[in-house]
Copies of this chain bind each other. A is one copy, B any other.
């Protein structure tokens, strides 16, 4: 137990690091008043969304906590499960809040740093991301370890299994917040994006991120709530799920506390390694930022392998090497899926080039090609996941599967820092545009943004791979809990049983239904945004006049009157109204898919109970949603990625049959259609599926003792 205080210490260290880096960011120069003002608008918008979201989620969380306490009490289990649940929800919300707070401070400071050099800008952006990364792992480790220490030390439980089972509530809390954050954030960001693009760029013909476009700020807020907070909540959930899944299995299988605390040690050590990794990221003037990020990420992975070897062999007696191999398999699987993701979505790769080539015959062939690439890209990642399952299990049983997930996630801290760095750079570019900074600044921020692409693809690979393995760990934990309830008789989920098969069918269908709900929500929210932007262009005379001036072309040809008309219009776009619309639509639309995810396992469990096969039916449902959800998530994310980069390649002048087309050509227009279709795929429904499968597993794990 004493060693766990070191783990708690590591958690505290992560938070200290996060606060230290936050104040460092605060001390950086924000640049001109205009930049300050834009930065403040984005930050306010992001906070307004978080506040509105958390207000709704608070109600949900309180209701679920009461239901959990009631159900637990009813079954003679501990009501502390709802305390765990509340802690998990609060920790996840807090991680999102801290990460987004600093991300919205880092954005305009990155822009300002980019005025002097690329290296300085990288430093600011990456530091901003590292606060998100360390907050997530810090709060995760503090939460799980803290609950475990408190529950143990205060002697609330005589039975270790019940104690660990009670901690699973933490994972449920984290998952619930994650789902709503991912779905809500995904809807928000795409509604704002589509609104800004379709009316602003296409209809009114003004450049991206232009201050005359009322949806511009909302668009930039969206990058933060979708990509920073959404991704953070996603990985927080995987991270916590993998730790708790391993703890449950460690006790259920070995009945030995060493196997329960091992995941906590690894997580704690991962924090230290991640912090070391952040110091490895630095670039001298003229050096390669990509190389700097790679050194940080792969360097810390290397250290992590050594640390895990030492920890595992020191902590457990039986099969230490097997367990170590399992973590290695997990890490390798994550990297492998990441590289494949890069192959199917990266600029200049063969699959993306095929989408580019098909754009020449129009948007229909572009769409078919992108769908084809996305579907094909499921092949190798699924083989890798299947291989990881079999080999991790071969080396260390079910515990091995959980440890493989943990191996993938051990250095989440730095992984997430690299992920969050992307949207910060993206925002920095937007601010440069809106503040009318020289083109070279925008070029630097664009370079910064592009640099993170490979690492971001690898990050996506880890997110999907870890979601699959974490889900299986939670699934195995669910089976073990049912097994312990059944006593001696083995718990078998036999596919040949019609009830199981029926549940498998329903499970496999859910990702389709869920995706359709998410995409429908994006469509409706985008429509509301489109109408609002159109309304402002129509009903605000100053805006209308300024747009007309802008339409005259080059600024040098404007008369003095034109210039003053244009200046007058610049402040008239009602950004606040657009932010409000995005916020309200996102909050309203996230509820149905969210509730679907939470309630389906309960409904199927209860229906199954009618024929005394509740746990089996639930097992079938989980297996179905997991296997089809993983394939759908990869399909949608990669199709979206391929369309996105195909469009970029055409913009950069990639040749098709020896001819180059570029922006504004018919070929480019065809590619824009693909990119627009891909947006909700890759930023809303695709990544939400990662969470859906984890959430449904963890709901099952938590309700298992009450339902059956």
The chain A residues found within 8 Å of chain B, CB to CB, are 198, 358, 361-365, 367-369, 371-376, 378-379, 382-383, 385-387, 389-390, 392-393, 398, 401, 468, 472, 475-476, 479, 491-496, 498-509, 512-513, 515-517, 519-520, 522-523, 526-527, 530, 619-620, 623-624, 627-628, 630-631, 635, 672-673, 676-677, 680
Contacts and interface: CB of A to CB of B under 8 A. Distances in A.
Q: Which 9 A-B pairs have the closest CB atoms?
A: A364-B676, A375-B516, A386-B502, A508-B627, A376-B516, A393-B498, A382-B509, A493-B495, A375-B512
A505 B386 contact: yes
A475 B505 CA distance: 14
A336 to B, nearest CB: 15
B476 A496 contact: yes
A493 B616 CA distance: 12
Contacts of A515: 372, 375
Given A498-B393, A505-B386, A627-B505, A375 B492 contact: no
A368 B498 contact: no
A408 to B, nearest CB: 16
A280 B378 CA distance: 49
20 contacts: A198-B361, A198-B362, A358-B523, A362-B673, A364-B676, A368-B677, A371-B516, A382-B508, A389-B505, A390-B499, A468-B505, A472-B501, A475-B496, A492-B492, A494-B495, A495-B619, A495-B623, A504-B627, A512-B635, A673-B673
B491 A496 contact: yes
Contact of A495 (B379, B500, B520): B500
Given A382-B509, A495-B623, 20 more contacts: A198-B361, A363-B363, A364-B677, A368-B523, A368-B676, A368-B677, A369-B523, A375-B512, A376-B513, A386-B505, A387-B502, A389-B505, A390-B502, A401-B498, A476-B496, A493-B495, A509-B631, A627-B627, A628-B628, A673-B673
A385 B627 contact: no
Contact of A628 (B372, B393, B508): B508
Given A367-B677, A376-B513, A378-B513, A501 B631 contact: no
Given A361-B198, A362-B673, A677-B364, A378 B495 contact: no
Contacts of A530: 361
B372 A506 contact: no
Given A369-B523, A375-B512, A628-B508, A496 B493 contact: yes
A505 B385 CA distance: 8
A493 B501 CA distance: 11
A383 B379 CA distance: 28
Nearest to A490: B494
A691 B185 CA distance: 40
A631 B516 CA distance: 13
Contacts of A505: 382, 385-386, 389, 468, 627, 630
A80 B479 CA distance: 45
Nearest to A617: B390
Contacts of A672: 364
Contacts of A509: 378-379, 382-383, 627, 631
B628 A368 contact: no
Contacts of A631: 508-509, 512, 628
Given A368-B519, A368-B680, A677-B364, A496 B479 contact: yes
A337 to B, nearest CB: 13
A526 B361 CA distance: 11
B372 A519 contact: yes
A398 B498 CA distance: 8
A513 B672 CA distance: 25
A297 B504 CA distance: 33
Contacts of A523: 358, 365, 368-369, 372
Contacts of A513: 375-376, 378-379
Given A367-B367, A386-B505, A519-B371, A620 B361 contact: no
A373 B515 CA distance: 10
A188 B631 CA distance: 28
Nearest to A362: B673
A680 to B, nearest CB: 6
Contacts of A376: 512-513, 516-517, 520
A353 B673 CA distance: 21
A375 B508 contact: no
Contacts of A378: 509, 512-513
A389 B508 contact: no
B673 A506 contact: no
A316 to B, nearest CB: 21
A673 B365 CA distance: 9
Contacts of A517: 376
A144 B620 CA distance: 35
A527 to B, nearest CB: 8
A505 to B, nearest CB: 5
Contact of A494 (B365, B494, B522): B494
Contacts of A519: 368, 371-372, 375
A395 to B, nearest CB: 11
Contacts of A372: 515-516, 519-520, 523
A624 B620 CA distance: 11
A503 B393 CA distance: 14
A367 B673 contact: yes
Contacts of A472: 501
A386 B628 contact: no
Contacts of A393: 498
A476 B520 CA distance: 38
Nearest to A527: B361
Contacts of A363: 363-364, 673
Contacts of A389: 498, 501-502, 505
Contacts of A373: 516
A686 to B, nearest CB: 12
